[in-house]
Amino acid sequence: MTKNLKATITVVLVAAGVLAVLLFINRPIDPAPAAATGVAADVLVRADSHRLSTAPDGRVTFVEFLDFECAACRAVHPVIEQLRAEYDGRVTFVARYFPLPSHLNGENAAVAVEAAARQGQFEAMYLRMFETQGNWGEQQVSQAPLFREYAADLGLDMAAYDRDVADPATLERVRSDQRDGQAAGVRGTPTSSSTGSGSNPAR
């Protein structure tokens, strides 16, 4: 993929995401949950989905399926952060794992983030992955030792972190997000969607 094409795709995805948020903020409230894509809201957002921020009224939820090794995801990341700041308290932002098979360390990164999440540090590790992607992305050897260094830098209990990284349930948690993404029609990253309803599918 050329750099220009990648940039164009990124801009289109960001614009679509912003438009979806704006449309759902200004739309009439439906009596029942509905997803922008026509996908069931409980596929886009599960009870255990990671929320970067939560709107008290629960009317609008922005969901991003992402791969920490995806260059386009990294490019979009500052825009997502800008949207989070702009719509703080009005929109719930949910991040879901979707590591791509073509990225050797995409799944390793997601497992590391999920292990950190088990110690209440999802957002800190999520941010660290995008901040440092240029150091480890596109490598053809496992970057798990480097991710362990990030966990230590965050002050995590490293014995617990190591157990969680090795625990098959942690990988299964990542892959369950992948399966929901596939069910929602996700084929690449970043892919975003919004849901809006009178009740809150993301609470």
Q: Distance between CA 200 and CA 195 in Å, rounded?
A: 9
Sign of CA dihedral 128, 133, 134, 135: positive
Helices 122-136 and 71-86, packing angle to 10 deg: 140
Query: Within a domain: residue 202?
Result: no
163: which residues sit within 8 A by CB, 6+ positions away?
Answer: none
Query: Within a domain: residue 36?
Result: yes
Domain tally, the chain: 1
Instruction: State pLDDT tens for residues 39-95.
Output: 677 789 999 999 999 999 888 899 999 999 999 999 999 999 999 999 999 999 999
- Domain containing 171 equals 3-196
- Least confident span in 85-89, 166-170, 174-178: 85-89
Q: Is the pLDDT of residue 8 over 50?
A: no
| CATH (domain of 160) | 3.40.30.10
Considering only CA atoms, which of 66, 147, 59, 146 is closest in space to residue 103?
66
Q: What pTM was computed for the model?
A: 0.79
